[in-house]
Amino acid sequence: MVVSAQGKAFCAGHNLKDMRARPELAYYQKLFAQCTRMMLAIQNLPVPVIAKVQGLATAAGCQLVAQCDLAVAASQASFGVNGIDVGLFCATPSVPLVRNMPAKQAMEMLLTGEFITADEARGRGLVNRVVPLEALDAEVEKLLQAILLKPREAIAIGKALFTNNVKPAWKPLTSLQARPWHATWSMPWHKKACKPSSTKGNPNGQRWRRKSSFCLPGAY
């Protein structure tokens, strides 16, 4: 199975405008439960899931790449878990992220919100292969064919073993996410604490500055 997209972004994560518009705990619980089911479905499928990343993968989008069994990226792709830029720690994305790369490298991304290139992502273990955009389809097809030559039953058994031993289920961890996000956006200081200051240096066109020490990570 291949997960792919078109346009500048592979996946930009949750729609923050919608989440700001509905600062209700029940809404957040439902939203994160849906996200958890989707991520666990990838884990539980009996076939490998390959992320074909042609562009930006941020926050839950980066989580999606990390959750896939394999990933092939175009050289122009970039990856980040930058919820911290608006005072929200990317707690759920941190779970598969830290199972793809060394803990300190994952923590640096989570605390700074800085993006990494496709080559850096490959060096850290987030993606398997990096190729020019025009070669992305062919590279994914080559990887697919190499897998399809192997017995389907053995692939299914192997993925289940790998998942259970190396990547244990993370549902209990994700269930903790909704309440701190709700608490963060319920605070009157949150919108004032994080405001856009310029459009330089950010793939989404905005840079956020902290005007107060109360702009706390939402999942602490």
pLDDT per residue over 165-203, tens digit each?
776 555 545 555 555 555 555 555 455 444 544 444 444
Assigned domain for 215 exists: no
Assigned domain for 216 exists: no
- Residue 175 confidence (pLDDT): 52
- Residue 13 confidence (pLDDT): 87
pLDDT tens digit sequence for 66-115? 999 999 999 999 999 998 888 888 888 998 999 999 999 999 999 999 99
The pLDDT > 70 percentage for the chain reads: 75
Number of domains in the chain: 1
Sorting pLDDT into bands at 50, 70 and 90, what band is 19? Answer: confident
Instruction: Please give the average per-residue pLDDT across 128-156, as a whole number.
Output: 97
Q: C-alpha distances in angstroms, 102 versus 109, 112, 121, 156?
A: 11, 16, 12, 27
Assigned domain for 152 exists: yes
Contacts of 29 (CB under 8 A, 6+ apart): 178
Assigned domain for 219 exists: no
Q: Say whether 215 sits in a helix, a strand or coil.
A: coil
pLDDT tens digit sequence for 30-63? 888 888 888 889 999 999 999 999 999 999 999 9
Its sign, for the CA torsion 85, 88, 90, 91, is positive
What average pLDDT does the structure give for the chain? 81
- Residue 188 confidence (pLDDT): 52
Assigned domain for 220 exists: no
- Residue 218 confidence (pLDDT): 33
The pLDDT > 90 percentage for the chain reads: 55
Domain span holding position 113:
2-210
- Residue 113 confidence (pLDDT): 96
Assigned domain for 169 exists: yes
CATH number of the domain to which 178 belongs: 3.90.226.10
Q: Looking at the predicted structure, is the pLDDT value of residue 207 above 50?
A: no
Assigned domain for 11 exists: yes
Assigned domain for 217 exists: no
- Residue 86 confidence (pLDDT): 82
- Residue 88 confidence (pLDDT): 82
